Structure 1
Amino acid sequence: MMLIEETAVPQSALPLAQFRAHLRLGTGFADDGIQDPVLESFLRAAMAAIEARTGKVLIRRAFSWTLTRWRDPAVQALPVAPVTQITRLVLRDRGEGEEVIAPDFYTLETDMQRPVIRPKGAVLPYIPSGGTAEIVFDAGYADNWGGLPADLAQAVLLLAAHYYEYREETALGDGCMPFGVTALIERYRTVRLFAGGRA
């Protein structure tokens, strides 16, 4: 399985002004636009870390997901949430021949934790042996920063500030995330009840 981000978060959707204000309050950061590219990089890193930890996409953008088989031909969970629409489903055989599946044959069940694609008939279209299915979809809470849940937006600012404060630190352990950030994102983490079970 391979998930690819087809479109990036535009710079206009990033809260650079809020982040500058946040840093000034905490560290006496100067009001200096010269550091905007640096701040942008920390914001993007914080967003990526929180999206990876929660499985939730913050700013809406397009993704493609390629898989070699359905986990269950009657329902397939998507790898991130919230998914707003499926724009394309393509089956490819071993020789790269492709078949675009019409939306009449499947439906998206939106869910804030685990959106799924279901067949409108009995099963999802058969993936050829040695072939793949590619699902192209849009996912994310909002098109801009103002539309995000307040706790997720605050978590990004806190984590980006943490990265900024400790940018020279090399001794932090793998997966280090400040407690305040962990507490803010905890309710968004997807719970998997059975290892290897339906997902």
Structure 2
Amino acid sequence: MMLIEETTVADDALPVEAFKAHLRLGSGFGQDTVQEPVLRSFLRAAMSAIEARTGKVLMQRSFSLSLTFWRDAEAQPLPVAPVTEVTRVALVARDGVQTDVAEATYWLERDSQHPKVRAARACLPQVPTAGAVLIAFDAGYSAAWDGLPSDLQQAVLMLAAHFYEYRDDTGLSAGCMPFGVSSMIERYKILRLGMGAGQ
């Protein structure tokens, strides 16, 4: 399995001004934008860390998932949530030639924890021998920062501030997440039942 992020969050979609306010940075001194590249990098790092912990995509982006076999012939779980649309399913032959699968043969089961591509008929199409299947989809809570749940917004700002404050502390290289952030994202973590049965 290989998940590829096909698009990224645009710089102007990041909440730089909200982050400045959160950090209580001064303004009106003629160099208000000097730190913006640094602030954007910490916002991206915080969003990435929270997405990794929760399995949730915060701001909408496009992804592609490549598989060499279906986990289940009737339904294939997708590795992140929330998925808003499956834009393409294609079979990839051994020589790399791609053949689109008809949209009528599958559908998206929307779920906040475990979205799936489900077969509309008896089963999903057979994966070519020595080939793969490619699933393209869009995922994320919102295309705009203001569309994110408020607790996730706050968690991103808090974690980005933590990264900013301790940016020179090499003792944190093993990684950590402040308790306040952990408690806010707890309810978004993927629920796993038994030996991964929830997937």
TM-score range, shorter chain: over 0.9
Residue 57 of structure 1 pairs with residue 57 of structure 2: yes
- Which position in structure 2 is the counterpart of 1:47? 47
- Which position in structure 2 is the counterpart of 1:98? 98
Give, in angstroms, the shift of residue 172 of structure 1.
1.9
- Which position in structure 2 is the counterpart of 1:14? 14
Identical counterparts, % of pairs: 57
Matching residue's letter, 1:140: G
Take 1:191 and 1:107, find their aligned partners in 2: how far apart are those partners? Answer: 23
Take 1:159 and 1:195, find their aligned partners in 2: how far apart are those partners? Answer: 31
Take 1:148 and 1:105, find their aligned partners in 2: how far apart are those partners? Answer: 32
Count of aligned residue pairs for this structure pair: 195
- Which position in structure 2 is the counterpart of 1:38? 38
Q: Unmatched 5+ residue regions in structure 2?
A: none
Take 1:156 and 1:186, find their aligned partners in 2: how far apart are those partners? Answer: 13
- Which position in structure 2 is the counterpart of 1:71? 71
Give, in angstroms, the shift of residue 30 of structure 1.
2.7
Residue 193 of structure 1 pairs with residue 193 of structure 2: yes
Q: Unmatched 5+ residue regions in structure 1?
A: none
Residue 163 of structure 1 pairs with residue 159 of structure 2: no
Which digits, 9 at most, give the CA deviation of each residue in 1:67-108, with x for residues without a partner?
A: 111111111110100000001101112121221001100000
* Contact kept? 1:92, 1:133, Cα under 8 Å: yes
Matching residue's letter, 2:106: Y
Give the direction of change, closer, same or farther, for the CA distance of 1:105–1:8 in structure 2 (3 Å limit): same
Take 1:33 and 1:95, find their aligned partners in 2: how far apart are those partners? Answer: 49
Give, in angstroms, the shift of residue 196 of structure 1.
4.7
Q: Secondary structure at the match of 1:171?
A: helix
Alignment of 1:144-163 (within 5 A): 144-163=144-163
Give, in angstroms, the shift of residue 180 of structure 1.
0.4
Give, in angstroms, the shift of residue 125 of structure 1.
0.7
Matching residue's letter, 1:66: S
Which digits, 9 at most, give the CA deviation of each residue in 1:12-35, with x for residues without a partner?
A: 2110000000001xxxx3332110
* Contact kept? 2:191, 2:198, Cα under 8 Å: no
* Contact kept? 1:68, 1:131, Cα under 8 Å: yes
Take 1:58 and 1:175, find their aligned partners in 2: how far apart are those partners? Answer: 21
* Contact kept? 1:155, 1:185, Cα under 8 Å: yes
Matching residue's letter, 2:84: T
Take 1:175 and 1:188, find their aligned partners in 2: how far apart are those partners? Answer: 20
- Which position in structure 1 is the counterpart of 2:184? 184
Structure 1 length-normalised TM: 0.95
Give, in angstroms, the shift of residue 174 of structure 1.
2.6
Give, in angstroms, the shift of residue 194 of structure 1.
2.7
